[in-house]
């Protein structure tokens, strides 16, 4: 008897890793549907949950998952599956700034003629946390460009901006750049993602075997290869 396909909504940032996981550990058993984790777009996961879209599970950052549980759109206990970290990037062949200390980070941000950010997630972290702590105020703010028509790494490779900041998993997918992930503590922004069941789904029996495959030795290797930190 064929098992029904489990449908999971997940952030686009992690599509590369999750597609490989689905192909190599869950062939034909899992279908991922991607969108921004949150935001006003009707394609964002939180918007789709609010609209009542049917799914079996979602993968979301911890805080968003608990908010959706509180609203009754998700049920059960969230289970950590991986953490995402951020990174900077420069064009291939460009000098790599030392960002491993706060002094080096602030110096590099001051020297960069332009800095590309995503519209949400890592971009929000940069604007809300790094920008105020930089002590550079409007001088730094004026150099920030929110990239909406392509990945931040691609914008750097295309010469649209000199320095990029985004989820490491996304930057690793871009050609023509060098990723810098040895960052000062203030810039690391480790975000844990959890798997949670959707209200109204009858796929609760699929959760344990799904987690077993996601966090198997092979599953963890796939997550690590795509710049993510697997849960223990």
- Looking at the fold, whether 166 and 104 belong to one and the same domain comes out as yes
Structural domain total, the chain: 2
Residue 1 in domain: no
pLDDT at residue number 2: 59
> Do 24 and 77 lie in a common domain?
yes
Co-location of 55 and 92 in the same domain:
no
Residue 109 covered by a domain: yes
130 and 168, same domain (yes or no): yes
Residue 5 has phi, psi (to 5 degrees) of -75, 130
Crossing angle of helices 207-214 and 15-25, rounded to 10°: 110
Confirm if 171 and 22 have CB atoms less than 8 A apart: no
Q: Which two tokens stand for residue 25?
A: 């550990």
For residue 21, give its domain range: 6-82+191-230
Distance of CA 26 to the CA centre of its chain: 21
Tell me the C-alpha distance between 48 and 41, whole Å.
Answer: 9
208 & 142 share domain: no
- Separation CA 232–CA 218 (nearest Å): 13
Q: Cα-flanking dihedrals φ and ψ of residue 208, to 5°?
A: -60, -50
- Ranges in the chain, pLDDT < 70: 1-3
Say yes or no: 15 and 47 in one domain.
yes
CATH number, residue 103: 3.40.190.10
Are 148 and 195 within one domain?
Answer: no
Angstrom distance (rounded) from CA 135 to CA 22: 44
Q: Is residue 108 part of a domain?
A: yes
Could you say which DSSP state residue 89 is in? E
């Amino acid at each position: 008897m064929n098992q029904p396909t489990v449908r999971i909504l997940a952030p686009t940032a992690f599509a590369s890793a999750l597609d490989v996981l689905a192909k190599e550990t869950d062939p034909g058993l899992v279908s991922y549907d991607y969108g921004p984790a949150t935001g006003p777009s009707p394609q964002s996961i939180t918007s789709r949950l609010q609209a009542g879209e049917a799914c079996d599970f979602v993968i979301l950052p911890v805080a968003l998952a608990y908010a959706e549980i509180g609203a009754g759109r998700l049920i059960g206990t969230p289970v950590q599956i991986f953490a995402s970290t951020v990174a900077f990037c420069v064009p291939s062949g460009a000098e790599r700034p030392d960002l491993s200390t706060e002094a080096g980070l602030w110096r590099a941000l001051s020297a960069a003629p332009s800095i590309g950010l995503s519209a949400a997630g890592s971009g929000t972290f940069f604007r809300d946390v790094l920008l105020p702590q930089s002590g550079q105020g409007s001088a730094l703010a004026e150099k920030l460009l929110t990239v909406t028509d392509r990945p931040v790494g691609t914008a750097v490779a295309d010469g649209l901006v000199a320095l990029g900041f985004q989820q490491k998993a996304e930057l690793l997918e871009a050609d023509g750049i060098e990723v810098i992930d040895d960052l000062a503590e203030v810039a690391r922004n480790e975000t844990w993602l959890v798997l949670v069941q959707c209200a109204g789904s009858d796929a609760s029996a699929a959760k344990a075997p799904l987690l077993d495959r996601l966090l198997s030795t092979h599953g963890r290797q796939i997550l690590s290869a795509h710049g993510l930190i697997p849960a223990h």
